Amino acid sequence: MISITDRPGLAASVRCWPSRVVTMISAMTIPVRTICLSLAGAGRKGQDGGHGCDAICSHQNRGARMRVVHQFAPAMSAMIASLPGVTSAEHIPLDQRWNLPTDADVLFVLHGEGDSRSHDEGLPRPAGWPGSVRLVQIASAGIDDYPTWLFDAPQVATASGTTARPIAEYALAVMLNHAKRLPTITLNAGDEWPTREMQMDKPLASLEGRTLGLLGLGQIARQVARFAAAFDMTIIATRASDAPSPDPNVTLVPLPELVARADHLVIAAPIGASTRGLLGADLLGRMKPDAHIVNVARGAIIDTDALRAQFDAGRLWASLDVTDPEPLPPGHWLFAHPRARITPHLSWSSSETMRRVFERLAENIRRLQAGEPLLGAV
């Protein structure tokens, strides 16, 4: 991850953000204010080579030529416009998010919110697309919820890696929650206090010595592996490529062996033709009866009907941050099943997420101007 403080020009630009911009960002649910605060120690004048912030900003704005259009909160426009080389930043309302202009240089786009690439007929291609657009920066790591025509732009980049840590933290949290049975052992009244004999009859589980299976070995899975190694877990993985394991603690195994050995199986693979419905009746049936599945990828990687059959047979447990369909309709059986725990696709969320995504945009704008390879290029 490239930090804003690693780029002197960009850091200077951030120091120039007026207090009203910080106030606007603070009013949003995007904690980018931390970017400003991290640079506060540099001061507003006299600590940037003899130039105050006004001088720096004036210098940066000379020769600026990029127009950025984004789908985030309107208050983010001022922050984006302050980046070196950016002339203006304009907001597109979410209800018009695919009404994209073709006279911009950079598009900073949000998640498709269910506008799947398999439903392009509902997302008409803008006339003249991609026009003058040079870069489409996607705010998510996955690309399956965007219209196909979006990728006809000269360069498209994702935010891959920016959410790896919070997603890995989520995976470890639900694994610990499952092992320690936190919902079950939480007391609501004094008369629920268990006897010592009851505690010994059903001791809490441990992650130590358990086998963690990783379906996929991208940045998220590798971060999960680093955390799991601290718990002395045995870590195995299956990946699509033939590349060797990038982590000495992770042993690559075939998929059938992965599901058969895993006590906890973390799904962190991209969705595609080879992974859609991959965990069906056959592979789910090979898993240990008490195995725990954690899905932080895409819900459709698991055959939901096959998973229900396993649950109803008294087999498997699952912590699902993603589902198929998503969102689940009211009354869906997964909400009430005792073997499933559902969260609303929030494993990516953290106080640092939007700062990291914004840093990715800033760095890729710099790279675009410098003719350097983009981070997260598709």
Which residues form the catalytic set?
A: 298, 326, 345
Give CA–CA dist 259/285, Å, rounded. Answer: 9
* C-alpha distance from residue 56 to each of 5, 83, 98, 213, 221 (Å): 16, 12, 35, 51, 41
Here the tokens at position 270 are 């991209």
For residue 218, give the DSSP letter: S
Give CA–CA dist 357/347, Å, rounded. Answer: 15
* C-alpha distance from residue 349 to each of 86, 114, 216, 262, 336 (Å): 28, 18, 21, 27, 25
295 - beta bridge partners?
267, 320
Amino acid at site 78 = A
Give CA–CA dist 12/366, Å, rounded. Answer: 14
Q: Which residue has the tokens 């320690």?
A: 180
Give residue 122's Cα distance to chain centre. 26
321 Cβ neighbours under 8 A, 6+ residues apart: 170, 294, 295, 296, 343, 344, 345, 346, 347
CB 176 within 8 A of CB 170: no
